[in-house]
Amino acid sequence: MSATNEQPSKLFSLENLALSYRAKPALQGISWRWVPGEHWAILGANGAGKTALATVIAGEQTRFAGSFNRSPTLRDGGTAYVCFERGRRLWERDQKLDCAEFEANARDEGTRVKDLLQTEDWSQTERDALIELLGIRDILDRGLRYISTGQMRKALLASALFARPALLILDSPLDGLDLATQERLREALDSIMARSPAVLTLCRSPEEIPGACNRLMLLDGGRIIAMGDPQTVLDSPEGRRLLEPATVAFGALPKAKSTAEPSRSEPTIELQDVSVSFGDLCVFRNLDWSMAPDQHTLIVGPNGCGKSTLLDLLTGDNHKAYGQQVSLFGRRRGSGESVWDIKARFGRVDARMQFAVPSGSTVESVVLSGFFDSVGLRDRPSDLQRSSAREWLRALGLSAQVDREFHTLSFGLQRLVLLARAMVKEPEILLLDEATLSLDPRHRQMLLAAVDHLVDRGRCQLLFVSHTVGELPRCINQMLQFEPREDGSRTRVSER
């Protein structure tokens, strides 16, 4: 490896770059020159090498072959990298330093959103304009562990922009954001690119490419397969081949253990006049909702409206259910069941679980931990459990990743591993909180097909949480919609 500084005629250049993780190639033969005035997007599927390349450019990965030559502009101005991995590291740090047991309200905010913002070199007018643009004023005093995935994305982006970097790297910047915020962010990115800094956007579909982007790279299997003008690249044979619609083989999914229908006549979930507040903040108010045994529900609403809080209420991760009219499987919450009794009946995929996976965990151990509802594998799995875990990994196209460390996978592939973790025990209710986040079209179709398979052939009901009504599992037949208000979100229920 060599890293040197160049004249400003180029921001940086890469020559024959190669990178491997545990002897498995992640990048091969990457040669690339970035000229000032360019804004690049890298388009590729999950596992194509986008994140690996970004970590090299951001200076987070230094063990590589080939050369990476930076200009003085990049050396002095630095690089800001906005990605889910940074959010995970911040969340993990705050979790380790948590001292809620010593707080009067049993809540330690940890790192607040405002703590991430380096605003010293900004005028008050500039500072206020950026805060308003990203819509983060209401969460400036909130701890990072207590904001939604979409709010975390906005906070990390604000942190990067306030640092005034020479190069801004955005990993799927629209992921996890509601439609209104996506539109504002698209406009903001176009405005940023018209001035400075240089911007690199990592994308999984052409729709994610910013309008002001003037250069595009296609990446597949760790190799550059095309680069140049965005539309020319997309229209090329390589571009058309990479973007061909995926076909999903339903028969490849594991056979469900049971095809019996639930025998309950009472609602699986029933909430009457339920409200949740944290201090002076009311998350949602007067929620009335029931889900019958034959229903599968879409929970939809903008960032921060209370969708994930509702899931925490159901699974026992939020104690606010006690003393309120919350019934699960025909039994009132707080009538003698333990949190672990409740968790045993749910399978869940969300960003918090993704962040909480201990460093060093292998893909197989993460999936096996689903049998025990544990964070990390602490119990000895049976041979049958190991076989089932590998069956689900094979069904989701992850057989080659069995022994990989979980956090070395792309964010999208991590999501698929967590889906396998949720599915191995064939839960009665599957909770998918923004489960398609960071998935390319092929893997998104695979996830949705796998969910429908489990619903169709097993005893599983589905709660599918999203910030938009987009591509959904076909089993969805009910919608619970959150509508934010200043005094707490309200909800309305409709059939689909």
DSSP string, 305-337: SSHHHHHHHHHTSSGGGTTSEEEETTEETTSS-
**Domain edge (last residue) among 209, 243, 277:** 243
pLDDT in tens, 9-59: 789 999 999 999 877 889 999 999 999 889 999 999 888 999 999 999 999
Q: What is the pLDDT of residue 189?
A: 81
Query: Are the C-beta atoms of 471 and 432 separated by less than 8 Å?
Result: no
Residue 285 Cα distances to 277, 292, 433, 492, angstroms? 8, 22, 21, 12
**Are 137 and 196 part of one and the same domain?**
yes
The answer on pLDDT for 102 being more than 60 is: no
**Are 229 and 298 part of one and the same domain?**
no
Average pLDDT over residues 411-418: 86
Q: What is the pLDDT of residue 149?
A: 79
For residue 334, the domain's CATH number is 3.40.50.300
The answer on pLDDT for 106 being more than 70 is: no
Is 251 part of a structural domain of the chain?
Answer: no
The structure's pTM equals 0.79
Q: What is the pLDDT of residue 252?
A: 59
Q: What is the pLDDT of residue 256?
A: 63
Average pLDDT over residues 230-234: 95
Average pLDDT over residues 75-89: 88
**Are 360 and 446 part of one and the same domain?**
yes
pLDDT in tens, 241-272: 887 776 655 445 676 665 555 566 789 999 99
Domain count, the chain: 2
**Are 200 and 323 part of one and the same domain?**
no
**Domain edge (last residue) among 243, 259, 289:** 243
The answer on pLDDT for 101 being more than 70 is: no
Assigned token pair, 348: 């869940």
Is 486 part of a structural domain of the chain?
Answer: yes
**Are 282 and 402 part of one and the same domain?**
yes
Q: What is the pLDDT of residue 30?
A: 96
Is 262 part of a structural domain of the chain?
Answer: no
**Are 62 and 137 part of one and the same domain?**
yes
Work out the burial of residue 366: count CB atoms within 10 Å of its CB; fewer than 13 is exposed, 13-18 middle, 19 or more buried.
Answer: buried
**Are 188 and 305 part of one and the same domain?**
no
**Are 211 and 286 part of one and the same domain?**
no
The answer on pLDDT for 6 being more than 50 is: no
pLDDT in tens, 130-170: 888 888 898 899 888 888 877 888 899 899 988 889 999 99
Q: What is the pLDDT of residue 383?
A: 93
**Domain edge (last residue) among 199, 225, 243:** 243
- Domain encompassing residue 445: 269-495
Q: What is the pLDDT of residue 410?
A: 79
**Are 33 and 92 part of one and the same domain?**
yes
Query: Are the C-beta atoms of 208 and 187 separated by less than 8 Å?
Result: no
**Are 79 and 183 part of one and the same domain?**
yes
Distance CA 190, CA 91 (A): 30
Distance CA 133, CA 127 (A): 10
**Are 237 and 285 part of one and the same domain?**
no
Is 6 part of a structural domain of the chain?
Answer: no
Assigned token pair, 45: 């599927």
Query: Are the C-beta atoms of 136 and 151 separated by less than 8 Å?
Result: yes
| Mean pLDDT, rounded, of the chain | 85
pLDDT in tens, 160-201: 988 889 999 999 888 877 788 788 888 878 877 777 679 999
**Are 203 and 299 part of one and the same domain?**
no
pLDDT in tens, 426-468: 889 999 998 888 788 888 888 888 888 878 876 689 999 987 7
Q: What is the pLDDT of residue 7?
A: 45
